[in-house]
Structure 1
Amino acid sequence: MTIDDRPRTDVGPILSDGTPFADLFDLDKHEVSMRLLKDPEVYRLELSRLFGKAWTVLAHETEIPNAFDYVARHIGADPVIVTRSRSGDVNVVLNICSHRGMQVCRGEAGNEKQFKCPYHGWSFSEQGKFMGSPVARENMHGAFRSKEELALPKARVELYAGFVFATWDEDAPSLDDYLGEIKFYQDLMFDRTESGLEVLGPPQRFVIPANWKCPGEQHAGDGYHAMTLHRSINELAASEADDSSMYGIDVSANGHGLRLIDRRKGKWKDNREAVLAAQTLPPFEKLKSIMLPPGMTPEMAEKLDKKLSEAQMKVLADYPPSVGGLFPNMGTFCFEFPTPMGMAAIISWHAFVPRGPGKFEFINWFLVEKDAPEDFKDLMRRASTLGLGTTGFVETDDADTWPLMTESAEGFMGEQQKIRYGALCGEDQPLDGYWDEGEFPGGGHLYPGFTKDDAQWNWWLRYRDFMLGDPWGPEAHH
């Protein structure tokens, strides 16, 4: 039997053993089947229904600063080339020759005005236009397709905070609408200065033997795991009590999620009294002094009011966003981090690119404000490699967990088990009369208090929308 991918708005596609896809979710108990972490049929559906439609991140524009620069990446399992045109526009084209299916670009990065397929020599421009084939007088491109029809397919491209997003879906909403209310908070991490961010060199790229959804749903808002899995970080510098960093606000919107950390009460080992004393200051004054945003110098913070609103500065000073993710397969980070050279910061984006049901490519960008001093950039580079990525002691913890979750789903009993999201805060406005002027300014679904499962469950609901075939419809979970 083969998978039945006919539209079924009630139950979704029917898997080859007769199981309706919708039955892999228990909406009443907030549970999903562990079969979702290993099933090859589910993976094939994800490639078309999810990665064929969603906006996903591919690169940062500072990786391709010059005309005809390129990097090779993937949208789902599809190889693509991210290029810079002579005009400065960014393009994303399918890296599959329209002749016999060979990849026209073999390098990971470089500068090319044309991409020449190594198989038969067909050539394409940096925008995917078919330029010609060897022995032009013989018309080797054939008699049935025009040259225009033989161009490499182009994805829709939009940029946010310098990051290049792409989608194959012509009906998808704009990237701004796709980000929705989470953008208010993401701006506080990545779009807070007029000069913007730049990459600290090429991204790290490595493969982890695990299903991509393990890190995907974790980055929607799982702060709880840090108490146990990342306990060493709390012991180093985070808080006086084991659970103090667990309190704040979890934010969810369109399947995206973020954790806002409560910084008002001085729950920090080295500066509690100063934090408490600063509570009487206006937000902009806080941000220039004791509440300096991660990855910024005092001189850089002087310019925050040129980019951010008063409401954004108030949130950034009191409830700064720190760790989160953009649906479906991205992680975002902006937080202070201790090093042997002193306190530094990490600004990072991750992409979890599927390479099959049981492995994914982990792409890890380290970033810094363009206007930062060189010694400051070097300190952030050191902090980033110490904390995150291939050698980072934070993510070596995660890289041990995700493969074992995926392996657990392989067994007869394992695939029958459930992943549970039963600990819920419930949606509410922040406590303690924090926002006297009215509702909390950032919007989204707000879950104040101890970090729980709400935002991660919303990630799964958004995943379910895509997999049932109606991600943009009125019934979708936004």
Structure 2
Amino acid sequence: MKPKSHNLLADGTSISDLIDIEMREVKLRTLSDQQLYDLEQQRIFGKTWLMLGHESEIPNEGDFVQRFMGEDSVIVSRHKGEIYVSLNVCPHRGMKITTHDAGNAKVHKCIYHGWAFRPNGQFLASPVADQCMHGTIRDKEDLGLQQARVTLYGGLIFATWNIDGPSFDEFLGDAKWYYDMLFCRSDKGMEVAGPPQRFIIRANWKAAGEQSAADGFHTLTLHRWLGEVGNYKKGEEEGEGGDLTPEMFGAEVSSPHGHALRCIDLGRKIRRLTGKNPDELSTEEKLKVLPPPGMNPEMVEQLKKNLSPEQLQVMAWMPPQVGGMFPNVLFGFVYIPQADGSVVGSMTLHTYVPKGPDKLEFTNWIFVEKDTPPELREKMVMQTIQLFGTSGMVEQDDSDTWPHMTLTAKGAQGRHSTLKYQAIYETDKPDGWPGPGIVNEGFTKDDTQWHWWLYWYELMTAEQ
């Protein structure tokens, strides 16, 4: 009897058959299959670096939050200045060590049999010490909580179960050059503006994840109201009706690891939002006239200390504004016009945490720079909640489409339909573009999302 291939599903379908590389199509079945979902927990969420939060959420000794790496609950805690990520499973009988979303504890004690652990996951003792209820078969050093590999990036907490796998920098690759412009640009860094918002969506996590890979085109239709109402409605270039098509032009950064960024022309925004001519402004003047989201003109000086001249060139030309990190992170650093003619920035990150083949937990963090003046901070938080929060207008649009995609993927006929990524760039990076990576200029295409699926394919079919 031949051994069963790790690449075959129960009905004999090969995972390799779910993606047609030549045609750039993905079977819709990928958004509903239980066995595929179970394999993703091992091959995607068990192998890649996952964002769990920000260090400003746990500033003090003993602070902790409960988060998820795939479907595995973990305790993210601070101990003696370091951050640890421990599997939230008691090694005694499998009970959760903590059931709280957040808190502070010098010792984490399992409510079932009382086994106790330090914030770094080290086993302390079991009750009734003279009876040695943890036994003598295993040394106490072997009874601690399983530890993930942890790294901090711009204050963001990332962890992986792939202890000997690629470093975080290797995982980001060339995309890091662009992410640094968002997360490592200021002197003091970012901080959270309160705990993250969360809600459940009846959809497969990949429906949201692949959109986070810089899908710009859906803005024209799904978010059409942005060009029809409020302060987005009318601009000199857009004309009556607020056509959003000009916002679809720019540069897009793809990654062999599925990361993606959309870089949108700042000059066009300067003309529309400030009335100034960007061709008459220097790099520094452009950044002060329309500071990056989350900054005011006084904070722009910090950019010169933390970024290279080449990065500053991109920041004043086509700065990254939306995109994602594989597998399940979306970021938005966007400019929001106000009724009085001013502009308020929004800094937000989402994760799409899998809770089953047809369920995900949407988690939304709102960020501000630590140097952000209180008045600007308040405006940023309010604007971000209204647009990108759990009840935000943009997220109401997005979270309506993903469940429908998941439902159609369950149909006997629908599951054989395909997701198509056939709008292909035929251009290279803009002339004079100083940044690395796979960069294409022009109207937004499908390349970034296709690279997201190619990395999913690579991980799902790799030899185990």
Report the TM-score, using the length of structure 2 for normalisation: 0.94
User: Do residues 183 (structure 1) and 176 (structure 2) align?
Assistant: yes
Q: Report the counterpart of residue 243 of structure 1 in structure 2.
A: 245
AA of the residue aligned to 2:225:
S
Q: Which residue of 1 aligns with 2:60?
A: 66
Q: 1:308 to 1:242 in 2, by over 3 A?
A: same
Tell me whether 1:27 sits opposite 2:26 in the alignment.
Answer: no
- Partner of residue 475, structure 1: none
Aligned equivalent of 2:97: 104
Indicate the residue corresponding to 1:258 in structure 2: 261
**8 A Cα contact 2:427 2:442, kept in partner:** no
Contact 2:227 2:244 (8 Å CA) reproduced: yes
Task: Tell me how far apart the structure 2 counterparts of residues 283 and 56 of structure 1 sit (CA, whole Å).
Answer: 35
* 2: CA distance, partners of 1:107 / 1:408: 36
Q: Are the aligned partners of 1:244 and 1:267 in contact in 2 as well (CA < 8 Å)?
A: no
Which residue of structure 2 aligns with residue 48 of structure 1? Answer: 42
Report the Cα distance in structure 2 between the residues aligned to 1:269 and 1:193, rounded to whole angstroms. Answer: 27
Alignment partner, residue 305 of structure 1: 304
- The answer on whether the counterparts of 2:30 and 2:36 sit within 8 Å (CA) in structure 1 is yes
Runs of 4+ with deviation above 4 angstroms: 265-268, 339-342
Give the drift of 1:267. Answer: 7.8
Q: Could you say if the C-alpha distance between residues 404 and 449 of structure 1 is closer, same or farther in structure 2, counting changes exceeding 3 Å?
A: same
Q: Which amino acid aligns with 2:217?
A: Y
Question: Per-residue deviation at 1:278?
Answer: 2.8
**Residue deviations 1:260-319 (CA, integer Å, cap 9, x gap):** 002234585443x40xx232433123212x232111111111221011111111100110
3-state DSSP class of the match of 2:37?
Answer: helix
2:410 paired residue number: 410
Q: Which residue of 1 aligns with 2:354?
A: 354
Q: Aligned pair 1:14/2:8, yes or no?
A: yes
Task: Indicate the percent of aligned positions where both proteins have the same amino acid.
Answer: 46
Cα offsets for 1:164-209 (capped at 9, x unmatched): 0000002221111111111111122222101100000000011111
Distance 1:124 1:306 in 2: 42
Distance 1:470 1:158 in 2: 26
Instruction: Point out the more displaced range, 409-418 or 239-248.
Output: 239-248
| RMSD across aligned positions (CA) | 1.7
1:345 pairs with 2:345: yes
For 2:261, give the aligned amino acid.
Answer: L
Q: Whole-Å Cα distance in 1 between the matches of residues 363 and 219 of structure 2?
A: 21
Q: Which residue does the alignment assign to 1:474? A: none
Task: In structure 2, give the amino acid aligned to 1:151.
Answer: G
Matched, 1:115 2:103: no
The corresponding residue for 1:211 is 204
Contact 1:338–1:383 (8 Å) recurs in 2: no
**Structure 1: gaps (5+ residues):** 472-478
Structure 2 residue 456 is matched with structure 1 residue 453: no
Secondary structure at the aligned position of 2:267 is classed as: coil
- The corresponding residue for 1:324 is 323
Task: Say which SS state the counterpart of residue 316 (structure 2) adopts.
Answer: helix
For the pair 1:83 / 2:85, whether they are aligned, the reply is no
SS at match of 1:106: coil
- For the 8 Å contact 1:259–1:321, the answer to whether it is kept is yes
CA offsets 1:125-161 (integer angstroms, 9 cap, x no match):
1011111111111111123211111110000000111
Which residues of 2 match residues 114-153 of structure 1 at below 5 A? 114-153=107-146
Give the count of matched residue pairs: 452
User: What amino acid is aligned across from residue 67 of structure 2 in structure 1?
Assistant: R
Q: Which runs of 5+ in 2 are unaligned?
A: none
Inter-CA distance 150–390: structure 2 relative to 1 (3 Å threshold): same
Shift of 1:250: 1.0
Kindly provide the CA deviation profile for residues 196-255 of structure 1, in whole angstroms up to 9, marking residues without a partner as x: 000000000111110000111101110000000011113342751331000001101221
Pairs within 5 Å for 1:419-438: 419-426=419-426, 428-430=428-430, 433=431, 435=432
- Could you tell me how far apart the structure 2 residues matched to 1:37 and 1:233 are? 29
- Report the residue type matching 2:47 in the other structure: K
Contact 1:349–1:365 (Cα < 8 Å) also in 2: yes
SS at match of 1:303: helix
User: What SS does structure 2 have at the residue aligned with 1:361?
Assistant: strand
Q: What is the identity, as a one-letter code, of the residue corresponding to 1:402?
A: W
Give the counterpart letter for 1:36 in structure 2: T
Whether the 8 Å contact between 1:5 and 1:13 is mirrored in structure 2 is no
Q: Which residue of 2 aligns with 1:391?
A: 391
Whole-Å separation in 1 of the counterparts to 2:268 and 2:115:
64
